[in-house]
Amino acid sequence: MIYPRDGASAVRRSITRSLAQSRPRTLGQACTAGKLLARPLSTPSEHTPTPTPTTQSTSTSSSTPPPPPPPQSPQLSRWRRFLQSLGRVTLVTILASGGAFYYVTQRERHPGTQLPFDPSKKTVVVLGSGWGSTSFIKNLDMSEYNVIVVSPRNFFLFTPLLPSVAVGTIDSKSILTPIRYVTRHKPRQVVVIEADAKSVDPVAKTVTLADETEVQGAVSTTTINYDYLVYAVGAETQTFGIPGVKEHACFMKEIQDAETMRRRFMDCVESAGFPGQSPEEIDRLLHMVVVGGGPTGVEVSGEIHDFLEDDLKSWYPELAEHIKITLVEALPSVLPMFSKSLIEYTESTFKESKIDVLTKTMVKEVKPKSVVLQMPDKSIKEVPVGMVVWAGGNKPRDISVDLMKKMSEAQTNRRGISVDECLRMQGTDGSIFALGDCTASSYAPTAQVAAQQGAYLARAFGQMAHRDRITAELAAAQTAGDNEQAQTLQKQLSRYDRLRPFHYSHQGSLAYIGSDRAIADIMFFNFTIASSGVATYLFWRSAYISTLFSLRNRVLVANDWLKTRIFGRDLARD
């Protein structure tokens, strides 16, 4: 627009005035139109004085054309409002879960101060840091006891995921929990000693320990006293005295076993790729035999198959076709503890996956490069192999055999320690409790049983502490001649005197069978629901994630699963 020369300065003044007066209005309009939504609006008092409608009309009418009518503020569409609310809810959820995550991790990382050892309390010595003992320590009310934990390994191992470690699906550290992460969170100090218990003297109530690690201090053996002994040393792998098993097969019990198997498996693959290898030798090196058709053997076979399909086919295409997996089982079927339909499902899945299942077949000998089998028709066959994985049963450890010999009349079961219905070792004065795989009970040797026994025993120890306190008060009341008080205490004592027997509640059985499939016998009230397939595999994963010991383990395992899914398994042999 062009203004006449002589009125230019008056017009400029008028425009400046009019702009200054109309700025708040313009801001207000922009805001109403939703153009400055994200910016915080200042209060009217922070602006230049808000022009009254009269002033405005005078100013504009004098020198400028009337402003265009304010644009109609468009209504936010439903969809946009929904997205805004969703965004807010998502933000709040992320902040809240991030805060909760941080809080829980920091609480786990920084345990508080603990009560010191109290010499007036009884001392409980716990042997082992496995399922039974860890569950006991976790659930025990420490106000009444001093606790000493003795174990040759300073961590708890989540055994159900061990087969996944053996092929590198999961990192070994992800399924370990240092036992001090458990004991440091108890209200009273717990002494943790990394040592092998060498012998137990049930009469003197002592345990002799030895540090058998690579590095030892000036003192490496000692003897400690106990008032109660919680005996949960687990079991060894049963080899049935079959020649060559100890020397040439890989076991699947400890974390080192899984790492050894992984190294040997990769060694077989790399050796098969060595130039000039004959086809027969390649076939031998790449023949993996798994002995034992229980859940561990089945899971190991399934994991090796996954490794082959997901990774080896990509990185060793020339060898992948030669890899053969054979599962050997002496009984007529694999997984005898599962429903019939699940056994059939597993066998048919293995058939699809080209895993040979040899039932009614017994291993007679394991040689460095072959395994001798007795076939169902009793014929003997020597099969060339690269690696044998031994997933056999359990047998008692030497220390358990030694302890049982000290009570040879009461301890006659060769499968393990005999206990009464309250887990007291038979033949003792009630000061030794045994649980888990080291016992010979009617229950299967599973983590479920051991963990439930540990929790039960912790409750029983709480009851025993009450009983001991009332007994002491009763003695004091009787000495003081307070008959009324003595009678009341006597009644209370009768409530705590008898321990309730242990009852096992079976939650179901789960096993991974490879190819992203799992099987499950789930208990629903008194019914068993058999389930299998990919959905069960997702259930298997969520069940294990939720059973893992700590938030740290859950995050690490979930991360390993994701890492494997995206990048595949690590082929590096360490």
Ligand X SMILES: Cc1cc2nc3c(=O)[nH]c(=O)nc-3n(C[C@H](O)[C@H](O)[C@H](O)COP(=O)(O)OP(=O)(O)OC[C@H]3O[C@@H](n4cnc5c(N)ncnc54)[C@H](O)[C@@H]3O)c2cc1C
- The residues binding ligand X (CB under 6 A) are 127-133, 150-153, 159-160, 162-163, 196-197, 232-234, 252-253, 295-296, 397, 399, 436-438, 445-448, 450
**What is the DSSP code string of 258-295?**
HHHHHHHHHHHHHHHTSTT--HHHHHHHTEEEEE--SH
Distance CA 67, CA 71 (A): 11
Taking the complex as a whole, the smallest distance from the CB of residue 154 to ligand X amounts, in Å, to 9
Taking the complex as a whole, the smallest distance from the CB of residue 340 to ligand X amounts, in Å, to 20
Closer by beta carbon to ligand X, 123 or else 151: 151
Q: Counting Cβ atoms within 10 Å, is residue 313 exposed (0-12), middle (13-18) or buried (19+)?
A: middle
- What is the helix, strand, coil percentage profile of the chain, to 5? 45, 20, 35
Taking the complex as a whole, the smallest distance from the CB of residue 301 to ligand X amounts, in Å, to 13
Beta carbons of 126 and 147 less than 8 angstroms apart: yes
Lookup: tokens for 105: 């991790």
Point out the residue whose Cβ comes nearest to ligand X: 130
Q: How many Cβ atoms are within 10 Å of 58's Cβ, its own excluded?
A: 12
Taking the complex as a whole, the smallest distance from the CB of residue 407 to ligand X amounts, in Å, to 18
Taking the complex as a whole, the smallest distance from the CB of residue 508 to ligand X amounts, in Å, to 10
Residue 264's identity, in one-letter code, is: R
Closer by beta carbon to ligand X, 150 or else 242: 150
Helix (H, G, I), strand (E, B) or coil at 31: helix
Closer by beta carbon to ligand X, 370 or else 509: 509
Taking the complex as a whole, the smallest distance from the CB of residue 450 to ligand X amounts, in Å, to 3
Distance CA 15, CA 59 (A): 9
Closer by beta carbon to ligand X, 1 or else 219: 219
Residue 146, CA atoms < 13 Å, CB-side half-sphere: 13
Lookup: tokens for 315: 């990185």
Residue 478, CA atoms < 13 Å, CB-side half-sphere: 9
Closer by beta carbon to ligand X, 57 or else 507: 507
Closer by beta carbon to ligand X, 358 or else 450: 450
Closer by beta carbon to ligand X, 515 or else 547: 547
Taking the complex as a whole, the smallest distance from the CB of residue 313 to ligand X amounts, in Å, to 26
DSSP 308: I
CA 387 to chain CA centroid, Å, is 28
Taking the complex as a whole, the smallest distance from the CB of residue 386 to ligand X amounts, in Å, to 21
Closer by beta carbon to ligand X, 5 or else 405: 405
Distance CA 465, CA 228 (A): 12
